[in-house]
Amino acid sequence: MQAWTFTTGFGFGNLALQDRPTPRPGPGELLLEMRAASLNYRDLVVLRGQHGRAVQPPLIPLSDGVGVVTDTGPGVTGIAPGDRVCPAFFQNWDGGDPPADLDSGRLGGPLDGVLATHRVFPAAGVVPVPDHLTDAEAATLPCAGLTAWSALMAAPPVRPGETVLILGTGGVALMAVLLAKAAGAAVIVTTSSPDKAARIAALGADYVVDRGATPDWAAEVRAATGGVDRVLELGGAATLPDAIRCTRTGGQVILIGNVTGNRAELFLPAILTRQLTLRSVTVGSKQGFAAMARAIAQHGLRPVVGRVYPFTEAPEAFRAMEAQAVFGNICIGIGTGRTA
């Protein structure tokens, strides 16, 4: 087998393609021949060595991927060679409340990730994926897809007729547009250019705000809606105060990303007097993944894939994400599989 690995440190200079013995599954385990992987912003944080002391080299990167079962160990039932599955982002979160050691179960750091031709996983740590998806589309589900699902379908789930504001046009945001529309919600999206605005509108967004042309985008959203029911806050410190401004009395802001910073100054009366709910989402459980997969299959949804890089050009996929050069999920093809 081959695997991309951060060797003695992080950064592009330490990302190397290595030959390794192909692993064999033990009791309760299965062997996946990986078909595709997908990048998330978190993978850039790992590349830069900024994910904390718990994430250390040597490390196979990337959490999102899909593979085909080629072998199973003793005691594995309900899954067989030929099945196509995604490893769960959190290998230690089956369902319900997250475990106390949640962070220790993340793929792509601290656990080895999916950027390899073959990987062994516990049979309990994988989830079947919808048949209609290509390998690249399926690879986007474990983190980006499930994060969008968790933000929309928990505490409480989005209802038909609600208005959802989604900040940005990354992988989570694009999947959230598809899921929210399938649930019957009206969708507003903020973006950074006319080109992206046109693309997001083509996906079904009801209203798109170009932040470049409308610096006070929060005022425009507020004027158009009177306050949205739910905000998917993907920006972080720089956008959170405006996200709160956009939310109706009794609405909620779901904290997902912090790409613009870690510390925000908030005007507390805006939260307290309007009884807003601020909650966070960190991907989700395997049970949530299975529910999302059923919904995607029922509605025939297809995640947006912007570009697929060959396995041998994996570093270029990281550079494309760093440059924000692609609209849609950036994926890496690993093996010969389903492309349509």
> What is the tens place of the pLDDT at every residue in 158-173?
999 999 999 999 999 9
pLDDT band at 335 (very low <50, low <70, confident <90, very high): confident
Which tens digits make up the pLDDT trace of 12-27? 999 999 999 999 999 9
What is the domain partition of the chain in residue ranges?
2-143+285-333, 155-280
The fold of the 155-280 domain, in CATH, is Rossmann fold (3.40.50)
Q: What is the pLDDT of residue 265?
A: 81
Q: What is the pLDDT of residue 263?
A: 82
* Nearest residue to 223 via CA among 241, 207, 202, 200: 207
- pLDDT over 80 at 105, yes or no: yes
The arrangement of secondary structure in 2-143+285-333, i.e. its CATH architecture, is Alpha-Beta Complex (3.90)
Tokens of 295: 């919904």
Q: Please answer whether residues 264 and 255 qualify as being in contact, where contact means their C-beta atoms are separated by less than 8 angstroms.
A: no
Average per-residue pLDDT in the chain? 94
Q: Please answer whether residues 330 and 303 qualify as being in contact, where contact means their C-beta atoms are separated by less than 8 angstroms.
A: no
pLDDT band at 338 (very low <50, low <70, confident <90, very high): low
- Of residues 336 and 272, more confidence is placed in 272
- pLDDT over 60 at 178, yes or no: yes
Q: What is the 3-state secondary structure (H, E, C) of 262-327?
A: CCCCCCHHHHHCCCCEEEECCCCCHHHHHHHHHHHHHHCCCCCEEEEEEHHHHHHHHHHHHCCCCC
Q: What is the pLDDT of residue 273?
A: 86
Calpha distance 320→304 (Å, rounded)? 16
Which tens digits make up the pLDDT trace of 221-241? 999 999 999 999 998 888 899
Percent of the chain predicted with pLDDT > 70: 99
Q: What is the pLDDT of residue 340?
A: 53
Beta strands in the chain (DSSP E): 2-6, 15-19, 29-38, 64-72, 84-87, 118-122, 126-128, 163-167, 186-191, 207-210, 228-233, 247-255, 277-280, 305-310, 329-333
What number is the average pLDDT over the span 166-182? 95
Q: Please answer whether residues 279 and 233 qualify as being in contact, where contact means their C-beta atoms are separated by less than 8 angstroms.
A: no
What number is the average pLDDT over the span 31-58? 94
CA 181 to chain CA mean position, Å: 18
- pLDDT over 80 at 336, yes or no: no
What number is the average pLDDT over the span 97-119? 96
**The model's pTM:** 0.94
Q: What is the pLDDT of residue 270?
A: 81
Calpha distance 93→125 (Å, rounded)? 9
- Of residues 234 and 270, more confidence is placed in 234
